[in-house]
Each structure stands twice: as structure tokens, then as C-alpha cells.
Amino acid sequence: MRNRRLVIVFLGCAAAFAAGAIARQPAASGQEASLEPSKLAVLWTSGDRDVALKMVFMYTLNAKRRAWFDEVQLIVWGPSSKLLSVDEELQAAVAEMGEAGVELVACKACADSYGVSDKLEELDVEVKYMGVPLTEMLKGDWVVVTF
């Protein structure tokens, strides 16, 4: 029962976030809509591969490519760091995001706990302690969404 409620809450939050993202899209007249705030941090914590491919990566890449936000950062945190270290398809998708201009960072404490810091650095993901930077984002002018 508790898991069912969590799924419902998650889906509701995802729908609300998607509605907000749609509202921020450029107007049909070709003029840019206001994108305030214009900084997005996607906190990817899930070890679920489908969540990464079918939601997290799709939205993060499009947020940058379609200029929904000026700055887009993908933060690899927790189980996602282990998953990324071993999954070549996810690695290719993250590389594509980096090429598009998404800033790629990972929590060093998490990556170290899984023994994957070196592998993430090989993938051009900056590995650093993220507690303070994330707190500053949350208190600042960043939109932070967690999956």
C-alpha cells in the first residue's frame, strides 16, 4: 500500500513538472518564452535503467538542446553512479548530453562508496563532493528535479 502511494505521488510530481516544462516552451510565434529561472539541475539517483533512458536522459538532453534552460546539469548520485559505470548504452547517452553542453557531475562520496569514481572520470563526468553545491542550488535560483 505504501509503495502504491509513493508511485502515485511520484507520477503526480512528474506530471506537474512536465506541465511546468511545457509552459516554459517558446511561444508559437517564434518568440522565446521567459525561462526564469534558467538553471536546471537534474539529480539522478535511481538505479533503474528504464527510468534513466525513458525519462531522465530524454528530458535532460532536450532541456539543453531546446534551450528550455540556459544551464543544465546532470548530477549522478547514489545507485545511478554504479549503473552508469557498467552500462555502455547509458554511457553513450551521457556522452551525447555532454557534447550537447549538459554539465556532467557525480557525487564523490557516492561514487567512492561504489568504487566507481575512476570509471566516471573516464566518462568525462566531474566527480566531486556535492553536498554543498546541491545545497546552494536548492537555496539559490536553480530548478532542481530528482529522479
Phi, psi at 30, each rounded to 5°:
95, -10
* 115-131 pLDDT per residue, tens: 999 999 999 999 999 99
Rounded to whole angstroms, what are the CA distances from 39 to 70, 71, 115? 6, 5, 30
Give the closest residue to 130 by CA, choosing from 39, 45, 48, 58. 45
* Res 35 pLDDT > 80: no
Give me the residues paired with residue 44 across strands. Answer: 76
Q: Is 37-146 a CATH 3.40.50.300 domain? A: no
pLDDT band of 36, cuts 50, 70, 90: low
The residue length of the chain stands at 147
As a whole number of angstroms, the distance between CA 109 and CA 121 comes to: 14
